[in-house]
Structure formats: structure tokens, C-alpha cells
Amino acid sequence: MAVFASHDAFEPYGPRPTLTLGYHAAFPNERLIDMTALNDTLLHALEHCDMLIIDGLHAFDFSLDEQDQLHVECMNGRTLEHWRFTPTQMQAATFDKALKHWIITSDSGDHHLECVEATSGHDDEDSDHEDA
């Protein structure tokens, strides 16, 4: 059994990352969708985002139903949280430029929504090396 004198002496996968994001870590602001004149409604912002942060919880499951109501679901520990917003509530939502989030009011009160673009990996290898 080998014992290493220093934890830094053996790093088989390269250097440690300088920025680590845990489940509840702060989200990088550059991944928030910037609001522009073309993207000035909540519905338009929702069409171009991959994830929502609603009241501080990350939600990947959100959709519009047949009546154009927005449904958002996410897990909060062991509890399934669910929000429903009507088209009128979505049209009345306002964007807070200073805090970079939407404020939408439902029957249960005010909620804060952040529209976020997800990042994904892609295959950088050339097609020439596929048969290797």
C-alpha cells in the first residue's frame, strides 16, 4: 500500500479546478440570459432558457400546458415543489435589471425567476480519428 507525503504529489487527472461549484454554490452570472429589447417578456425569455432558478431552487422541469399556463417543478430536499402561473401573471411579470431576475406574482405571493442557459459538452475530436 503506497502512502503519499503530500496530497498535491499525486493528481492523475491534472490540476485541481480553481472554481468549484457545489449544489448550492453561487451560479456564474455570465450564464444568466441577458435581457435585451428583443427579449423583454418572460415568455420570450422562457423560450430561450434551459433551466430556471425559482426562489433560489434550480428547476429543469418547466413547461406550458394547453391553456398556456407555466408549470415549474423541482425537488427541494425530499419535497417536490410545484408552481403554476397563468398567462396573465406571466404578462404582468417584471424584470429587475439590478438583480437580473423576473418578479412574478401568483396566488401564493411573489416569486423570483432567473432564466439560465445550460452548458453542454461537445465532441471536439476530428472525424478522421473515429476509426482509431
Give tens-digit pLDDT for 64-114. Answer: 999 999 999 999 999 999 999 999 999 999 999 998 899 999 999 999 999
Banded pLDDT at 48 (limits 50, 70, 90): confident
| Cα–Cα dist 85/113, whole Å | 12
Q: Does residue 92 contact residue 105 with C-beta atoms inside 8 Å?
A: yes
Q: Does residue 87 contact residue 78 with C-beta atoms inside 8 Å?
A: no
42-118 CATH: 2.30.29.190
| Cα–Cα dist 30/24, whole Å | 17
Banded pLDDT at 128 (limits 50, 70, 90): low
pTM score of the predicted model: 0.61
Domain ranges of the chain: 42-118
Q: What is the pLDDT of residue 63?
A: 92
